[in-house]
Amino acid sequence: MGYSMCWLEYEKLSKKEVERYSEWFESLAMLGDVPKEVVEELKKFARESLGVQLRTFTRFLKKKRYILVGLLNSLPFDLDASEQKPEGFVLKTLKVGNSSVIVLTGKTRASLVYGTYELIKRVRLGEDLESLDVLENPKVRFRMLNHWDNLDGSVERGYAGNSIFFKENEVIVNERTKDYARLLASIGINGVVLNNVNVKKKELHLLEPAYLEKLKKLADVFRRYGIRVFLSVNFASPMHLGGLETADPLDKRVFEWWKKKVEEIYDYIPDFGGFLVKADSEFNPGPHMFGRTHAEGANMLARALAPFEGYVIWRAFVYNCMQDWRDYKTDRAKAAYENFKPLDGQFDENVIVQIKYGPMDFQVREPVSPLFGALERTNQMLELQITQEYTGQQIHLCYLGTLWKEILDFDTFAKGRGSFVKRIVDGTIFGMENGGIAGVSNVGDSENWTGHDLAQANLYTFGRLAWNPDEEIEKVVKEWIVLTFGKKEKVLENVSYMLLKSHRAYEKYTTPFGLGWMVNPGHHYGPNPEGYEYSRWGTYHRANWEAIGVDRTSRGTGFTLQYRSPWREIFDDVNTCPEDLILFFHRLPYTFKLKSGKTLIQAMYDLHFEGVEEVEDFLRKWEELEGLIDQRVHERVRERLRMQLEHAKEWRDVINTYFFRRTGIPDEKGRRIYP
Ligand code: GCW
């Protein structure tokens, strides 16, 4: 096969487990229309993990134990389904005559697929099946992956090989497509954007029949697993493809062109999800070019898609990427709010504004974007970056679940206490039902899909949190480890330790205190303290000999004023601002005293040394697992951890030296800093 199945490798279970579960998996009763994917998956699991042949029937059985699957309306008995949403499933162990039956049911094909993976997962985690009583609904409507894949097979910010969708301008549809759909369905993903948001010349043609015909084949595979496909489009397509001299959203010809185009797409893909649009952002065309607003631009597309239940996902990543570093007034952090807050209430129902988690750009730590909670009448989608552009590019171990959890749990105070980001994207706070969570995919065609084997945990966690943002992170980590590496206590202990500490460790040896950036321009790997200091991207720290940071308070750029109370006051005051964000909001002298009593500069040095020590620790913990984990995987990860350690030292030394040379303040502990 040439690739692993990540958390869906159905290893043979222990003898005891086989005894405990196999009877259930000998017979499957199917009532009505049951997707073949469900049967296939159950059979595969029964065979590979339990060593039994699952036999299928279309009636109730006399067996002591069996599984019964059917859509809710094909079941002859009444299960209270009032709480059940279209994608939600029920797993319930019932007594039917003398039989004990696991009933899997739901309202849609997709619900049965989700329930199948849940049942298999429970067995693999060693859970009880005798008294199942599960009703699970996804909390979030749109659970999306954004692929930044290009037609030539390259992946923008991809660190796991080439695209699994495109190669040399062709669309790939093969066994791996289906396996990818299986992986995604098993974690509840229901939408995939196939191509990069930067839609360049070649990709414009994805909207033409020659490509649509092939994309249809991809969509046919995904559909069977409950996943809708979406495309990123270039706002100026009517000019490039339609020969119009304008793409003005209020020009009738432009709308007509899109309307026709959309109809054509739906001829091929009847459940097409819609468009993702990066407009007026980093040189991509948009409505501003024609003097129109983002709402006018998005709504025009939305109206073409509405008759087919298609959606427009419109990115809020809009800022001036031509800033002069000498300009102290413009603050990039303010841009998304400034562009979109005034448009609140103007977007159509089938438009979703997709907002990056922070106001800048996927740094290792940023405050949560103030746009969440500022928009009250707009569907909002949280954008996370699973691919590790600024977080170690899948060479470094950097588990992101802990960070994402903090973001989802951030209280915006939009409607008083409890207005968490997760409650906004799930529609509870403002009743905007078409919310969602999107993650930029970290997948490529490498053998393990994600480059770093442990980066599979990021993909897994993303799906699990998108399905249920209330899920506990320790639980998700544990699940992933058991499903991936089995139940060995030592593996569980060491790998969860490594994962749960890794993001903080990365933050420590790179850019703590919310500083961010300080990376090499272009590829964004490795330290370069002034790499972005004199460029046009608006990402400055303005370190001089006595102070560092941008004053984003009410006395500075005013960014803090975009937050609701009490955050605006909390962030505004250096005494209450969370210290891990203190240099995001404040410009401080190096001798500023932190709560610990340490000076900022001393804490900076300490964190950098600590971060590297933690990586040494990770490497030791991993080495203890030799022999307990598949050898090839063990070697691959060890290789990356060794690189991480080298590169973490590079970060430590470059950053510490930078600060020492700026300030002349020595490390109190006398450790080696290069003068
Ligand atoms: O962070 C930047 C990345 C770009 C990316 C852009 C975006 C797809 O460096 O590669 O472009 O964000 O999110 O649009």
pTM of the predicted protein model: 0.98
Question: Which ligand 1 atom is at minimum distance from the Cα of 281?
Answer: 14
Q: What percent of the chain has pLDDT over 90?
A: 98
How close is the Cα of 198 to the center of ligand 1, in Å? 8
Cα 156 to averaged position of ligand 1 atoms, centre (Å):
8
Predicted local distance difference test score (pLDDT) of residue 80: 77
> In 372-488, where does DSSP find H-type helix?
401-408, 421-425, 456-467, 473-485
Tokens describing residue 527: 């330290």
Ligand 1, atom nearest to 196 Cα: 8
User: 107 and 86 in contact (C-beta within 8 Å)?
Assistant: yes
Looking at residue 256, its pLDDT comes to 98
Work out the angle between the directed axes of helices 109-124 and 175-186 (0-180°, nearest 10). Answer: 80
Q: Are 371 and 336 in contact (CB under 8 A)?
A: yes
CA distance linking residue 374 with residue 339, whole number of Å: 12
Amino acid at 496: S
Q: Report the C-alpha gap between 32 and 29 in whole angstroms.
A: 10
Q: For residues 230 and 267, is the Cβ–Cβ distance under 8 A?
A: no
Beta-bridge mates of residue 411: 420
Which residue puts its alpha carbon closest to atom 13 of ligand 1? 317
**Residue positions annotated with a catalytic role:** 282, 361, 389
Best residue among 282, 362, 363 to mutate for probing ligand 1, ranked by most atoms within 8 Å of CB: 282
**103 CB-contact burial (10 Å; exposed 0-12 / middle 13-18 / buried 19+):** buried
Per-residue pLDDT, 79 = 81
Contacts of 561 (CB under 8 A, 6+ apart): 554, 568
State the closest ligand 1 atom to the C-alpha of 390, by its place in the atom list counted from 1: 1
Do 413 and 567 contact (CB within 8 A), yes or no? yes
Contact (Cβ atoms closer than 8 angstroms) between residue 339 and residue 294: yes
CA distance 395 to 651: 14
Q: How far apart are CA 247 and CA 438, in angstroms?
A: 27
Cα 56 to Cα 30, 82, 101, 250: the distances in Å are: 7, 29, 14, 57
Q: How far apart are alpha carbons 324 and 330 in whole angstroms?
A: 9
The conformation of residue 228, written as its DSSP 8-state character, comes to E
440 lines ligand 1 (CB under 6 A): no
Model confidence pLDDT, tens digit, residues 454-486: 999 999 999 999 999 999 999 999 999 999 999
More confident of the two residues 529 and 76: 529
Q: d(Cα 157, Cα 145) in Å, to the nearest integer? A: 14
Asked if the model's pLDDT at residue 316 lies above 80, the reply is yes
Gap from CA of 282 to ligand 1 centroid (Å)? 8
Hey, which of 154, 157, 197 would you mutate to test ligand 1's pocket, going by the most ligand atoms within 8 Å of its Cβ? 157
Phi, psi angle pair for 145, to nearest 5°: -110, 135
Reported residue count of the chain is 675
- What is the distance between the alpha carbons of residues 636 and 624, in angstroms, rounded to a whole number? 15
Do 387 and 157 touch, CB atoms closer than 8 A? yes
**Tens-place pLDDT, residues 207-244:** 999 999 999 999 999 999 999 999 999 999 999 999 99
> What would the DSSP string read from start to end of 307-335?
GGT-EEEEE-----TT--TT-SS--GGGH
What Rg do the C-alpha atoms of the chain give, in angstroms? 26
Pocket test of ligand 1: the residue of 149, 199, 283, 317 to mutate, having most ligand atoms within 8 Å of its CB, is 317
Task: Supply the residue whose CA is at minimum distance from atom 2 of ligand 1.
Answer: 361
Best probe residue, ligand 1, of 197, 382, 441, 517 (max atoms within 8 Å of C-beta): 197
Is 332 close to ligand 1, i.e. is its CB under 6 Å away?
no
Residue carrying the six token digits 């549809």: 173
Average pLDDT of the chain?
A: 97
Alpha-carbon span 478 to 472, nearest angstrom:
10
Task: Determine if ligand 1 sits within 6 Å of the CB of residue 157.
Answer: yes
CA-nearest residue for atom 1, ligand 1, is: 361
User: Domains of the chain (ranges plus CATH)?
Assistant: 6-136 (3.30.379.10), 142-354+428-450+467-477 (3.20.20.80), 486-550+587-675 (3.90.1330.10)
Nearest ligand 1 atom to the CA of 315 is 14
Distance 466 CA to ligand 1 centre (A): 22
Residue 214's H or E segment, with its range, is helix 209-223
- How far, in Å, from the CA of 322 to the mean position of ligand 1? 15
The residue whose two tokens read 């709560």 is 595
Give phi and psi for 173, each to the nearest 5.
-130, 115
Report how far ligand 1's centroid is from the alpha carbon of 280 (Å): 13
How far is residue 380's CA from residue 378's CA, in Å, rounded to a whole number? Answer: 6
Whether 278 lines ligand 1, by a CB cut-off of 6 Å, is yes
> Does residue 319's CB lie within 6 angstroms of at least one atom of ligand 1?
no
Q: Is residue 350 classed as helix, strand or coil in its secondary structure?
A: coil
Is the separation of the CB atoms in 195 and 149 below 8 Å?
yes
Q: Is the CB of 537 under 6 A from ligand 1?
A: no
Query: In the 3-class helix/strand/coil scheme, how is 51-115 assigned residue by residue?
Result: CCCCEEECCCCCCCEEEEEEEHHHCCCCCCCCCCCCCCEEEEEEEECCEEEEEEEECCHHHHHHH
Could you identify the atom of ligand 1 that is nearest to the CA of residue 361? 1
148 CA closest ligand 1 atom index: 8
How many Å lie between the centroid of ligand 1 and the Cα of residue 522?
11
Say how far apart CA 471 and CA 261 lie, in whole Å.
Answer: 40
Instruction: Give residue 529's identity as a one-letter amino acid code.
Output: P
Q: How far apart are alpha carbons 467 and 451 in whole angstroms?
A: 25
CB contact at 8 A, 168 and 153: yes
CB 361 near ligand 1, within 6 Å? yes
Distance 2 CA to ligand 1 centre (A): 30
Ligand 1 within 6 A of 318 CB?
no
Nearby residues of 424 by Cβ (< 8 Å), 6 or more positions away:
372, 373, 380, 412, 414, 430, 435
For the residues 561-569, what does the mean pLDDT come to? Answer: 98
Atom of ligand 1 nearest to the CA of 440: 13
Distance (Å, whole) CA 177 – CA 163: 11
Closest CA to 150 of 96, 92, 205, 103: 205
Residue nearest to atom 12 of ligand 1 (CA): 361
Q: Pocket of ligand 1, candidates 146, 147, 148, 195: which has the most ligand atoms within 8 Å of its Cβ, to mutate? A: 148
Residue 440 CA to ligand 1 center (angstroms) comes to: 10
Residue 563 reports pLDDT greater than 90 = yes
198 CB within 6 A, ligand 1: yes
Q: What is the pLDDT of residue 82?
A: 79
Give 299 Cα–ligand 1 centroid separation in angstroms: 24
Given this model, what pLDDT does residue 477 score? 98
C-beta 317 within 6 A of ligand 1: yes
Say which residues have a Cβ less than 8 Å from residue 81's Cβ, sequence separation at least 6. Answer: 72, 90, 105, 107
Mean pLDDT, residues 274-286: 97
CA of 147 to the centre of ligand 1 (A): 12
Of the candidates 331, 199, 341, 218, which has an alpha carbon nearest to the alpha carbon of residue 275?
A: 199
Q: Of all helices (H) and strands (E), which one includes residue 240?
A: helix 237-240
Output the six-digit token pair for 224: 């069977």
Tokens of 232: 């990123």
Q: Choose which residue among 147, 150, 155, 156 to substitute to test ligand 1 binding: the one with the highest number of ligand atoms within 8 A of its C-beta.
A: 156
- Is the CB of 585 within 6 Å of ligand 1? no
Tens digit of each residue's pLDDT (9 = 90 or more) over 32-85: 999 999 999 999 999 999 999 999 999 999 999 999 999 999 998 888 777 889
d(CA 421, CA 227): 24
Give the pair of three-digit tokens for residue 67.
């599984």
Ligand 1 atom closest to the Cα of residue 524 is 9
Q: Please tell me the distance between residue 172's alpha carbon and the centre of ligand 1 in angstroms.
A: 24
Tokens representing residue 560 in the block: 């803090």
